[in-house]
Chain A
Amino acid sequence: MFDRRLATNLDWVFVGLILLTASIGIVNLYSATSGGSTSFPPLYIKQCLWLGLGLLIMTATAMFDYRHLLHLGPGAYAVCTGILIAVFILGETNMGATRWIDVGLFNLQPSEIMKPVIVIVLAHYFTRHESPEGHSLRGLVVPGIILLIPTLLIIKQPDLGTGIMLLFIGGTMALFSGIRPKTLVFIGSAGVGLAAGGWFLLHEYQRARIRTFLNPEHDPLGSGYHIIQSKIAIGSGGFWGKGFMQGSQSQLSFLPERHTDFVFSVFAEEWGIFGALILLTLYVLIIFRGILVAHKASNNFGMYLTIGATSIIFWHAIVNLGMVMGLLPVVGVPLPLFSYGGTNMVTTMVAVGIILNVSMRRFMF
């Protein structure tokens, strides 16, 4: 099923953007973990391995014709939801969160796999249920249920960040497929009502995070610490930055989780707004490229699939950036291609693979 000619249609520019961003990420990781980390092998080496694995997964995802995914979707969704329920019941407790499940080689985060799966399932649904004048409320009941079951399970894990990500990704796809204005207003107001009600369903630490976001200075050494230190790191970087390996905030370990969620703060501190804007441009190019691929997709399923995959990267980037800059609450969302971590790398590369897949096959009808 793999056609050699497809290689010529591979979006090398897109692959180049991905590799460039990931490489900058590894260099930045080298700096972020140079002070005091005793991990062996060093995290930046590990991240190289994750990138290698990610490229393999990307290639694998890009190779087979994405149209097969259409039929795989419901099954994958059922399996993943089953795993989430299993995790909910017997999940391994890790740092107070039952997010991981041991699958032998490494711990699997089922909520992460849910991201591409939900994209496939929703792409499937919206392809089957095209609605030129926009979806009505009734039309959104099924995708709503599809989306909310795993989302609630994930938030209950508790992993607010991934849950919200899932909601944003699904929401983006629904919005893209078209929603009637009246319905949109209704969902909007219902969402606000649910958010107010949901406050009481949140874990105390999740509420604390939101409170902290609203007023970080309230508890500068406690829950507000992360965001204050992050803002100091970014702000003190100034225009040109403090230079590679010279960020005092990062090198002196004032910045927490500087190799994962707050990795951008390290970059912004050491490279200034100059470097940060270049990095931002790379993400904009990646997203725009994704949208372009969706626009040129040979069919609606490919289009929806690409929109979903791109929205995975987009929302992770925006929420992470907004979070470390104090625009959004700290919800534990990694920066794609930049934050350390295998799971994040795999998810991102699956999304990249999907985009490449659709892009390669844009001339196939």
Chain B
Amino acid sequence: MPLHAPLPDDEHRKRTFEWLLFAVAIFFILIAARLWYLQVIKADHFELLAQRNRTRYIPIAAPRGIIFDRNGEILVGNRPSFSVSVLRQDVTDKVTLIEDIAEILACDTDEIEKNWEKYKYFPQYSPIPLKIGITRGQVEQLSENSMYLPGMIIETRPVRSYPSDSAGAHIFGHVGLISAEELASKQGDSNYRAGDLIGKGGLEKYLNSTLRGNDGQLVVEVDVKGKLLRQRVKRQPTPGQNLVLTLDKNLQQCAQKELDGMAGAAVVLDVTNGQILALASSPTYDPDIFTDGISTSEWFELLNNPRTPLQNRAISGQYPPGSTFKPVIALLAASHPEISHTQQPIICEGKTRIGNRDFRCWKRIGHGSTNLNKAMRESCDVWFYHMSMRLGIDRLADMARNLGLGSRYNLPLDSEQEGLIPDRAWKRGRFNEAWYMGETAITGIGQGYVLTTPLQLALMTATIANGGTLYRPQILKNITSHTGEMDTEIKAEVLHQSNIPAGAIAQVKASLEAVVHDPRGTGTSCRIEGLRIAGKTGTAQVVRLADEDEKGISKEEIAYRHRDHALFIAYAPADNPQIATAVIVEHGEHASKTAIPVTRALLMEYFNTEKSGAATK
């Protein structure tokens, strides 16, 4: 049996062993070559992949810039919002955890569980918010019990706070999660990611890139399951730039307060530079409701409210200016006595016949012999019918535009409207019809096609007050860095300088002063002790609305909707104007009942503030 036979150490066997050794060597050389390829030739490539593998980059939200008023008062700030979240990797008992948290928060376990399920797709290392916007008391209670709530964490994120309550909600706008459409429109801008907060309206929207700052970055080392292992801050977030507005917080609050309960708008401008001191619209809403997410029902309530609280009437409400338009005609007439013959009085008999139609004055018995001053202070319609017809619609429209009506100023705010100053060209373009004389007359008393926004009326008033310099209305005073250093100072910008003879200006200004200070004036109720005020009342007839006959509108509502709008424009002090105001109260009937008290309160607030401000200096 070959078991004990001698080894066949012939050449053949020897060669077999040689082959064997050779084959083994070949296999190991192959392995070594592969190692060389992976670890030497491709080392950098794999090193890069390994780096990418273990790290995740999480943005740290930068606090948005603060919005200040002109005096450094905070209008929109940031505050921490607390939320209770769960870090799933540390949870030992989900059911107990949910029950315990729900007990402390005094809410349903379903609500907590729903959020848990909703954000289940979040990566493992990313905490799931179970309830946002919890109170400090709840935070304390949760923190005290954190030992018994493994996996529970309290998260803090900066949210908007509004120390001035609802005064200015229309201006500030609000912040919300970026939508898919917004993200798509920012295509190519790598600064925007899903989950970012973005301004949804007003300054927050239009100056979003200024306010948002740069997010920081958190580098998180995770394992293959996404479990958090280590984290470190790679880049601290840079807070956004601050906005210093031209608004005066006190004046803004005053305007909002005075308008409370009414629908309307109030605008206060600095006549020397076009800065907006107050821009209020009523009704308003509490911007804070958006902070921790608004519920659908709340949102629809805002959206479907018949008084449209979301609309910023100060810039997007277009109203016939009514008699507040008359200073335009008066100024034009005084500048062109050779055409208007203002030196000769016009006899007002309560109406005048144009073509084959009677045009009525608001005073049925007539004003009798009327000059510019009387026509203005008593708001005689007949005088203005004649003047506008003598001067012609095109001249009139030019003057109106030079005073700031009929155009948009590209404020960083929502839906600013252009208004409408009609002329022949406009009518031909719009209706393909010739302009009628009667239309000129009706435009002369601020009715017909003409539409203005409260801001434009304030601008017109300011331009008259400063002698014809039309400044661009500004809401932004300057932009500062988050440490408060000046980054951009917004300068006053002259849009148009009218060449109005000084005499004409003086004549019109005197007539506007007479509106308030002459005993026969229509605006006497605006008088304030120790302050000379110039102003003009206005009543705008309400155009019949299409939805008036709709069912579901109460009789009171219909009656309300039929009432005229009340307007009042003013500037003060009359001899050295500082501010101009425009107030409109929808369906406010008479200026003296509604628009004038608001204006008066604003003037009192401003000049008292000025006095005390001067005293402290």
Contacts and interface: CB of A to CB of B under 8 A. Distances in A.
Interface in B14-59: 16-17, 20-21, 24-25, 27-28, 30-32, 34-36, 38-40, 42-43, 45-47, 49-51, 53-54
A276 interface: yes
B53 to A, nearest CB: 5
Contacts of A231: 38, 46
What is the interface of chain B mostly: helix, strand, loop, or mixed?
helix
A238 B43 contact: yes
A252 B40 contact: no
Nearest to B20: A291
A254 B3 contact: no
B545 interface: no
Nearest to A235: B46
Interface stretch (A55-63, A158-166, A321-329): A321-329
B224 interface: yes
Contact of A284 (B7, B24, B39, B40): B24
Main secondary structure, interface of A, reads: helix
Nearest to B47: A236
B203 to A, nearest CB: 44
A56 to B, nearest CB: 28
A268 B35 contact: yes
A318 B47 contact: no
B28 A233 contact: no
A326 B38 CA distance: 10
Interface in A290-337: 291, 294-295, 297-301, 303, 307, 314, 318, 321-322, 325-327
Given A248-B50, A248-B53, A273-B39, A253 B17 contact: no
Contacts of B7: 297-300, 303
B39 A249 contact: no
Contact of A287 (B2, B24, B45): B24
Nearest to A273: B39
A280 B39 CA distance: 14
A321 to B, nearest CB: 5
Q: How large is the interface on A (under 10, 10 to 19, 20 to 34, 35 or more residues)?
A: 35 or more
A300 B39 contact: no
A252 B224 contact: yes
B221 interface: yes
Given A235-B43, A253-B224, A284-B25, A327 B50 contact: no
Contact of A273 (B8, B17, B40, B53): B40
A78 to B, nearest CB: 21
B4 interface: yes
A118 B463 CA distance: 107
A325 B42 CA distance: 13
B225 interface: yes
B223 interface: yes
B24 A288 contact: yes
B2 A130 contact: yes
B550 to A, nearest CB: 58
A77 interface: no
Give the bracket for the number of chain B residues in contact with chain A: 35 or more
B25 A253 contact: no
B28 to A, nearest CB: 5
Nearest to B223: A253
Contacts of A236: 43, 46-47, 49-50
B53 A252 contact: yes
A62 to B, nearest CB: 19
A280 B30 CA distance: 11
B56 to A, nearest CB: 11
Given A233-B50, A273-B36, A291-B21, A299 B225 contact: no
A365 interface: yes
B135 to A, nearest CB: 38
B611 interface: no
A74 interface: no
A35 B21 contact: no
A232 B39 contact: no
Given A254-B224, A284-B25, A300-B2, A238 B47 contact: yes
Contact of B50 (A249, A268, A297): A249
Nearest to B45: A235
A236 B28 CA distance: 21
B39 A318 contact: no
B310 interface: no
Contacts of B39: 234-235, 237-239, 268, 272-273, 276
Given A176-B16, A238-B47, A299 B2 contact: yes
B136 interface: no
B615 interface: no
B229 interface: yes
A241 B36 CA distance: 13
B38 A235 contact: yes
B500 interface: no
B347 interface: no
A68 to B, nearest CB: 11
Nearest to B31: A321
Contacts of A21: none
The 9 lowest CB-CB distance pairs between A and B, nearest first, are A235-B46, A236-B50, A253-B223, A273-B39, A238-B43, A236-B46, A235-B38, A252-B54, A236-B47
8 contacts: A232-B50, A236-B47, A237-B39, A280-B35, A284-B25, A299-B3, A300-B5, A318-B31
Given A294-B17, A299-B3, A314-B24, 12 more contacts: A229-B53, A235-B42, A253-B225, A273-B39, A295-B17, A299-B4, A300-B5, A301-B3, A325-B34, A326-B34, A327-B30, A365-B4
Interface of A: 35-36, 67, 70, 127-128, 130, 132, 176, 178, 229, 231-239, 248-249, 252-256, 268, 272-273, 276-277, 280, 283-284, 287-288, 291, 294-295, 297-301, 303, 307, 314, 318, 321-322, 325-327, 365
